[in-house]
């Protein structure tokens, strides 16, 4: 059974005449690393946000773990999302930023503490737990954003250009970290990027979008070595 199945998904924002996503269909298997690529405005974020439940689906069916999920609220989807903008809470410490999603779930304090510290260890953030986001570098903030997603132990990660604000060196480092984490957790990842190198080095399959339509789906080898 595939983890995520999109069946002719379409999206038209109410105020727009045109569709932003047209007949998007794909079967995503467990532990795949799917990358969406394509020019700005082609529908990458919209597609991701529909899978997360942050945007209504105009027509078509979304299945997550075999369950029709079009109307399942985001918090019930077992999905963790990482945004380009980090989306950290500026007034909270690194510890509380990472703990936030667990507090909402009303886990007990001891369990939260264990999970937050374990996550910080994986991401080399142990020495920064008491700091606020404004005291961190871009790479550290990016790690906190990842930490907030990882700590929930969801088995699906959606990442919308999670490395676009980093410099080249850090981007390469973080790519490796994301792949390591993915392998460690065995998660399914859908990852949006503009960056062709990122797509080629990370993806199990790449989805090329243009104008809201899938142009091609294939492995990096299929797409970039046989023109």
Chain-centre distance for alpha carbon 14 = 25
Q: Which is nearer to ligand ADP, 4 or 94 (CB)?
A: 4
Write each residue from 174 to 203 as x if it is in contact with ligand ADP (CB under 6 A), else as -, in one continuous string: ------------------------------
d(CA 129, CA 143): 12
d(CA 35, CA 127): 32
d(CA 45, CA 21): 10
Q: Which is nearer to ligand ADP, 40 or 127 (CB)?
A: 40
Q: Which is nearer to ligand ADP, 66 or 74 (CB)?
A: 74
Burial 23-40 (b: 16+ CB within 10 A, else e): ebebebeeebbbbbbbee
Q: Within 23-52, which residues bind ligand ADP (CB under 6 A)?
A: 38, 40-46
| CB-based contacts of 38, cutoff 8 Å, min separation 6 | 44, 208, 209, 210, 215
- For the bound state, the minimum distance from the C-beta of residue 216 to ligand ADP, rounded and expressed in Å, comes to 15
Q: Interacting stretch for ligand ADP, rule CB under 6 A, among 14-22, 103-111, 178-186, 219-227?
A: 14-22
| CB-based contacts of 2, cutoff 8 Å, min separation 6 | 27, 28, 29, 30, 63
- For the bound state, the minimum distance from the C-beta of residue 39 to ligand ADP, rounded and expressed in Å, comes to 7
Nearest of 205, 199, 134 to residue 171 by alpha carbon: 199
- For the bound state, the minimum distance from the C-beta of residue 83 to ligand ADP, rounded and expressed in Å, comes to 9
Which residues lie across from 160 on neighbouring strands?
192
Q: Which is nearer to ligand ADP, 20 or 69 (CB)?
A: 20
Q: Which is nearer to ligand ADP, 120 or 163 (CB)?
A: 163
Q: Is 16 in the site for ligand ADP (CB under 6 A)?
A: yes
- For the bound state, the minimum distance from the C-beta of residue 120 to ligand ADP, rounded and expressed in Å, comes to 29
Q: Is 13 in the site for ligand ADP (CB under 6 A)?
A: yes
Residue 220, both tokens: 């990096």
Q: Which is nearer to ligand ADP, 20 or 119 (CB)?
A: 20
Q: Which is nearer to ligand ADP, 42 or 202 (CB)?
A: 42
Contact residue for ligand ADP among 3, 4, 5, 20 (CB under 6 A): 20
Q: Within 78-117, which residues bind ligand ADP (CB under 6 A)?
A: none
Check residue 200 and give left, alpha or beta (phi > 0: left; psi -120 to 50: alpha): alpha
- For the bound state, the minimum distance from the C-beta of residue 164 to ligand ADP, rounded and expressed in Å, comes to 8
- List Cα–Cα distances, 185 to 56, 73, 82, 146, 211, in angstroms: 29, 24, 16, 13, 34
| β-pair type (188-192, 33-37) | parallel
* Binding interface with ligand ADP (CB under 6 A): 13, 15-16, 20, 38, 40-46
């Amino acid at each position: 059974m595939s983890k995520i199945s999109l069946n002719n998904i379409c999206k038209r924002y109410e105020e727009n005449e045109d569709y932003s996503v047209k007949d998007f269909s794909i079967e995503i298997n467990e532990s795949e690393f799917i990358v969406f690529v394509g020019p700005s405005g082609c529908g990458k974020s919209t597609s991701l946000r529909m899978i997360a439940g942050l945007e209504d689906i105009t027509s078509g069916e979304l299945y997550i773990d075999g369950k029709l999920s079009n109307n399942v609220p985001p918090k019930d989807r077992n999905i963790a999302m990482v945004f380009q903008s980090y989306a950290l809470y500026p007034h909270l410490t690194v510890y509380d930023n990472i703990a936030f999603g667990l507090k909402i779930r009303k886990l007990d304090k001891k369990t939260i503490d264990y999970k937050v510290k374990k996550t910080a260890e994986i991401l080399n953030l142990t020495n920064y737990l008491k700091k606020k986001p404004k005291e961190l570098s871009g790479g550290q903030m990016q790690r906190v954003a990842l930490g907030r997603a990882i700590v929930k132990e969801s088995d699906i990660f959606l990442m919308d250009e999670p490395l676009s604000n980093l410099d080249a060196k850090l981007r390469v480092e973080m790519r490796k970290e994301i792949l390591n984490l993915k392998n460690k957790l065995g998660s399914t990842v859908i990852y949006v990027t503009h960056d062709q190198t990122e797509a080629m080095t990370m993806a199990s399959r790449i989805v090329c979008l243009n104008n809201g339509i899938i142009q091609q789906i294939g492995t990096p080898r299929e797409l970039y070595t046989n023109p």
